[in-house]
Each structure stands twice: as structure tokens, then as C-alpha cells.
A and B are shown apart, each in its own frame.
Chain A
Amino acid sequence: MTIARPADFEAGSLQPEGWLRYFSFSLDHKVIGLQYLVCGFVFYLIGGALAGVIRTELSSPISDFVSRDVYNQILTLHGTVMIFLWIVPVVNGAFGNYLIPFYVGARDMAFPRLNAVAFWLIPPAGILLISSYFISGGAAQSGWTAYPPLSLTTPALGQVLWIVSVLLLGGSSIFGGINFIATILKLRRPGLKMMHLPMYCWAMLGTSLLVVLSTPVLAGTLILLSFDIVAHTGFFNPSMGGNVVVYQHLFWFYSHPAVYIMVLPAFGLVSEILPVHARKPLFGYTTMVYSIMGIVVLGLIVWAHHMFTSGTPPWMRLFFTIATSFIAVPTGIKFFNWLATLWGGRIALNSAMLFACAFIVNFVFGGITGIALAQVPFDIHVHDTYFVVAHFHYIVYGGTVFVIFSALYHWYPKFTGRLLNEDLGRLHFLLTFIGFNLCFAPQHWLGLNGMPRRVAEYDPSFTTWNQVSSVGALLMALSTVPLLINVILTAYRGQPAGDNPWRALTPEWLTSSPPPVENWVGEAPLVTHPYAYGTPEGQLDLTAASGSELWRASQR
């Protein structure tokens, strides 16, 4: 389609058009969003290949496929790539940049140039991280947590490159967070109140608060760690009077909120997707908002539950166990709100919906093991075992990555104007769902029986379930094939979607697909009830903001 060009763009005629703009320093939030998405997906494939190496190695109890040192490097790279280069950039950067300006009725983000800078920090940081594998001494070997003194005794250069890379990515994340906060709070179109916003805005506001408050602490900590490595100071080096537990406190002050930075946006996205495909209002809008804010506050004060075996005093254990268990309350509210949204809806079980529903199943499982892990006696038993690995992947893969796929099927028509193929989508879903559960469910059992994480070798009695897990990983690897075929073929020959294939009411669908450069021709629409599905016009009081009231009204 023709792209409407704003008047003051003639000065920027150097901005490339067509596909080249995706390789440029574009200031358009939609271009930046897709840059994040595609860049993140490339790193997903890299991180997946690294996971493949890990699972191949673990299909036999001895270290035969790769050496122990290489295994340590691979698992460090896998964790860092997946967290900092795939999940955080995609679930925040990609969908946030693409959708938030639509949702607030703006033509772009608050700081477009900062936005482009934030994206363009990512590819160099990623390349730096991956290339550290090929230098002498290899990549960092201390895991994505880089705990000292391990990170002080493994080869220094790889660790320093890891730190520089994570600092760049953290900077990118902070710039993005500042942008989201300013856009959501300050750029709303006149007449649009906070409680009118689609739920993803609230999720991104909460996430960005966490990013702005906690990421700088990680940055400061890593700077101190690099001093320890390069200048031989002793902040975290016990042999020089330093304190390793301080590192753990500071690290988890960021990295526990980081879990919410990865999963809150997914909560937001799934809250957008479920109402559309169930043709029902989002249940409990107001409680959803308060739940997100509750998770933000609680998320900042639970970090030490990662450190129950680090000599934490009893009062600290007590406090962090209770605070962590409390997070189940707002999370549970959200969970039941999603179920109530589905309840009695006219559910279209397309690929987007399959992934979204599977998210609910996986996430509740990961959530329950999370509550279990918050209890000190149990945690001490399974600390640093595969139980933690299984729990974490149920949250981050079963939770967030399933939502990313769901969001891809949901918004691909918005990005390209074409619908992804449903048959390939369902094949992708089936392989992912079976592969994921086959891969990670046995790891609960392995962990409960004492298989340690992060070690290339294990007791031969664990062999069978490890092989089952590796078969699951193979299925997950295969599942990307139908996805890739689908995405690439559809871009050229897919079924045209029209502007609004899902008959959705959220603002991004109330323009053409793909949208023009400044999102709307003319004024942005004022959408005060983005979830008013199945409610015939004029039959209910739309000043009622909550989904439950809209739902009850629709039952009359």
C-alpha cells in the first residue's frame, strides 16, 4: 500500500524506504518494533541451538559431546542470549513499541530517537556476546548469574565481554523503559483516561517501572564485578575481605524483578488476545490493573528467596518466604480473570488462541512450583537442582514464549496484512506443546531426586528421563520449522487479511493493516472500551468500566 508521508519528512529523505528501512536508524515505532522482533527471533534460534548442544550433551551421563569447559560456556551463553536478547527485547521492545503508541492514541513513542538508540544497542551487544565464544579462553563460564568467586576465577576476558554486553543490553532496556513510561503517562490522546487503556499498557507501565528501578542496580553491580576482575579490587572476593553475598543481593534485586519484566508483558499480551478470540469482555479489568501494580510492588521485595542457601538469617527467610507466597494472590486473580474471560465465550480455537490457552495451563504449573520453591525447607532440598530449571522454564518458556507465539499469530496480519496459515500454525503449536512438556516435565522428577543443574555429567540412574527430556528438546527444535515456513511463505503468498481480520476493538486494528507511517490518517480514534465484545450498541451502560459488569450486561 502507499505509505502516507508526514509533511516534515522531506528533510529526512535519507530515510530509506521498503525493506531497507528495517536496517536503518528508523524512528518509526512500528519499524523499531519489527526490528526488535526479527532480531530477537534470530537470537532465539541461536539460543535454541545452544540449548540443543546442552540437551545433546545431557542425553548421556558422561561428558562426551562437548568438554566440561565448553559446556559451561554453552549454558552461560544459552541463558544470557535467551533472557537478554530474546525474551526481554521481544516481549517488551517488539510488541511494546509496535502496540503502545496505538493504544494511547499517539503517532509515535515519546522519544523516537532514544527508541532507535535503544534498539541499535542490541545487535552489537549480541554479536559481542556470541563472539566471546571464539576468543582465547572462551566465553564466560559462570552462568547467567555470574556469581563470584566463580566469575572471578574463570577466564577473565570472556567474563568482561559478558559484562560489557549485559551493560549495553541493560542500557537498552532502561532507555526503552523510560520511553514506555513517558508514552503511557504523557502521550495519551485527549479524552483517554488511564482506566480506558488496554491491559497491555498497564502491564508495560508496571514492567517499565521495574526496569527503571532495578536494572541500574544490576549495572552498578556488574561495574563493581568488572573492577574485581580487571583492577583486582575485592568487593566480592572473599580472599580480599570482600563479600559474595552482597553480590547475590544486588544481582537478585534486579534479576528477580527481571522475571516479572519477562512475564508481566506476557500477561498483558494474553489479556489482549483472549477477549478477541473468545468474543467476550476482559473479565475484571480493575482487578487486573491492581494485580499488575501489586506484582510490581511485591516483585521488588522478594529477591532473597533465591538465596535461602546463602546463609540468610532466619528473619530474612521468614520475610522473603511470606512476601513471595503473597505474589500468588495477584497472580491468582489474573489467572481466574482469564478463565472467567473464556467462560461462556464463543471461542475460536485458532493458533493464537491455542498458544494463549496453553500459556494458562503451563503458567499455572510453573506458578505452583514457584510457591513450592518459596518455602524454605523445600527450597533447601531442591536448590540448584533440575527442579529449579524445570520451574524456571515453565514460567519463561511455557509462559512467556508461548505468549510470544500467540501474539505472533494474532498480530502478524497487523504487521503484514496477511493471515498466517492455520494448519502450519496448529502443527507448530502441537510440536511446541508436546515437545515443551516432554522436555521440562521430567526435569521436576530429576531435580527432586537430586540431579544438580549446570553440570555436564550426572548419575547414570538419571539417564532415561534425561533422554526423554532431550527428545522433547528435539521436538521443540523441529517446531520452529513449520513456524519459519509459515512466516516466510505467508509474507509473500499468504491469504490477505483485510484491515481487521479478528473484528477486534483495540485501537491498533482501527487503521489499515499494515498501518500508515503515522498510524492514522486523520485523528486517532478514541477507544474508551477496548473490550466491549458481544455487547450490542445501546444496551448497556458503558460508563461501567469493569469487564464483569459488561459481561453481566451481555447475559441479560
Chain B
Amino acid sequence: MTPLTPETSTAAGAVALPSPNGAGHESSHDEGHADVRLFGLATFLIADGMTFAGFFAAYLTFRAVNPLPADSTYELELLLPTINTVLLLVSSVTFHRAGRRLLSGDGEAARLWLLVTGALGAAFLAGQMVEYFHLPFGLTDNLYASTFYALTGFHGLHVTLGVICILIVCWQARESGRISASNPFGLEAAELYWHFVDGIWVVLYGLLYLL
């Protein structure tokens, strides 16, 4: 038999309410809860991933039922995107190193690794632009061309945002900045996002270039 808490008794209407200006308020305000920001970000990334999932599903359905018109070209070179894939995968490792360095108190090394990560991300974007300029088809040429640009473009936007985030984190991780070993949230959030963007690329690479 568990006794009812006073508030759940049947005489709930009679629960005595402390005065609104009760002194207990200030102390109770600091009761605080666990930091749920990374959890919220992860939930958002699941949502974001569903956007990509929708695009992938559309692409696969197009592949299955919509043949390419006879006179149109849809040919992709494999070398540059493969280099790009390696760049992104390496950048995930370097970002991870940056996080480890920060937590062990070596802020300068963390910033260095962040800069390396940002440079790899920028190199990826540059590679993407080079590929865009050398492709034999444009955005509206055919269904596959449109889908190719939509998918890689949407992913490229994510990478661009990620590089900007890395630069911001790098700036904030300086000596007097707000990101430090005791407050690593900004870096952790950017890292989670970056790994997500990398993971999406791996799927995208498999579907667009290898399939």
C-alpha cells in the first residue's frame, strides 16, 4: 500500500496553495534539469534526415519507373566525388580530435584541429563546384539532372552551414571565448551536426554515384 501524496487525495480541491510570493521560490528556481540541448539537436537531425530520406525515396522511385529520355545524358565521373568522400570522412576524424583536445584542456590544439576540419569542408565544397562546372548537363535538362542537383545542392547547403558553424566554434573556443573544457556544448553540437552531414553524404554517394 503506497500512501497517496497529499495532492492526489480525493479532496484535491482543498490543496493548500502557498502564497504566490512565497519565499521558497528563489531556491526552487535553481533546481535545474539535465542539459537536453544535444538531445533536442539529435531530434532535429532525425527530422532533417527524414527530409533527405524523402529525397532519396523520390530518387529511387524515379530510377525504378522513369526511364531516361533517349537523347539525354546523365553521366557522372567517379574520381572527384570519391576524393570528396574521403575528405569528408577525414574531416569527421579531425573534428573528433578537436573535441578530445578541448576536453583535455588543450584549447589551442582544439582550434587547430577545428581549422583543419573547416579547411577539409571548404575543400569538399570547392570540389563540388568544380564538379558542377564540368558536368555535361544542367539543372533542367532531365529528371535525373534535376534530382542530382537538388540532392547534392541540399547537401552542399548543409556542408556550407557546417563550415560556418566550425568557424564560429573556432572563434568562440579562443582563450576568452565561451566554449571551453567546462562548457563544450557549442563544439559538441557542431560535431554532432558534422557527423550527420558526413553520414548523409555517404548514403548520397552510394545512391547517386555507385548505384
Binary contact readout B1-32 vs A (1 if CB under 8 angstroms, 0 otherwise): 11111011110110101111110111011010
B150 lies within 8 A of A186 (CB)? no
Nearest CB of A to B76, in Å: 18
A516 lies within 8 A of B53 (CB)? no
Q: Is the interface of A mostly helix, strand, loop or mixed?
A: loop
A178 lies within 8 A of B10 (CB)? no
A235 lies within 8 A of B143 (CB)? yes
Q: Residue on B with the closest CB to A181?
A: B43
* B12 CB contacts on chain A under 8 angstroms: 500, 503-505, 509-510
For window 179-207 of A, CB contacts with B under 8 Å fall at 179, 181-182, 185-187
Nearest CB of B to A300, in Å: 11
Total B residues in contact with A, Cβ cutoff 8 Å: 57
* B20 CB contacts on chain A under 8 angstroms: 1-4, 512, 516, 521
B146 lies within 8 A of A499 (CB)? no
Q: Is the interface of B mostly helix, strand, loop or mixed?
A: helix
B15 lies within 8 A of A518 (CB)? no
* B150 CB contacts on chain A under 8 angstroms: 223-224, 227, 233, 235
A241 lies within 8 A of B66 (CB)? yes
Q: A54 vs B52: C-alpha distance in the bound complex, in angstroms?
A: 38
Binary contact readout A521-556 vs B (1 if CB under 8 angstroms, 0 otherwise): 111011111101111111001110000000000000
A518 lies within 8 A of B29 (CB)? yes
* A253 CB contacts on chain B under 8 angstroms: 54
* A221 CB contacts on chain B under 8 angstroms: 54, 58
B143 lies within 8 A of A241 (CB)? yes
Query: Interface with B: A104-112, A396-404, A428-436, which one?
Result: A104-112
Binary contact readout B96-138 vs A (1 if CB under 8 angstroms, 0 otherwise): 0000000000000000000000000000000000000000000
In the assembled complex, A117 has its CB within 8 A of some CB on chain B: no
For window 253-309 of A, CB contacts with B under 8 Å fall at 253
Nearest CB of A to B44, in Å: 6
* B1 CB contacts on chain A under 8 angstroms: 538, 541-542
* A219 CB contacts on chain B under 8 angstroms: 51
Q: A161 vs B20: C-alpha distance in the bound complex, in angstroms?
A: 47
* B53 CB contacts on chain A under 8 angstroms: 217
B residues touching A (Cβ–Cβ < 8 Å)?
1-5, 7-10, 12-13, 15, 17-22, 24-26, 28-29, 31, 33-34, 36-37, 39-40, 43-44, 46-55, 57-58, 61-62, 65-66, 69, 139-140, 142-143, 146-147, 150, 154
A residues touching B (Cβ–Cβ < 8 Å)?
1-4, 6-8, 106-107, 110-111, 114, 174, 177-179, 181-182, 185-187, 212-217, 219-221, 223-224, 227, 231-235, 240-243, 246, 249-250, 253, 498-500, 503-505, 507, 509-512, 516, 518, 520-523, 525-530, 532-538, 541-543
13 A/B residue pairs, CB under 8 Å, sorted by A: A4-B21, A213-B50, A220-B154, A224-B55, A235-B150, A249-B57, A510-B7, A512-B20, A516-B20, A520-B28, A521-B20, A537-B4, A541-B2
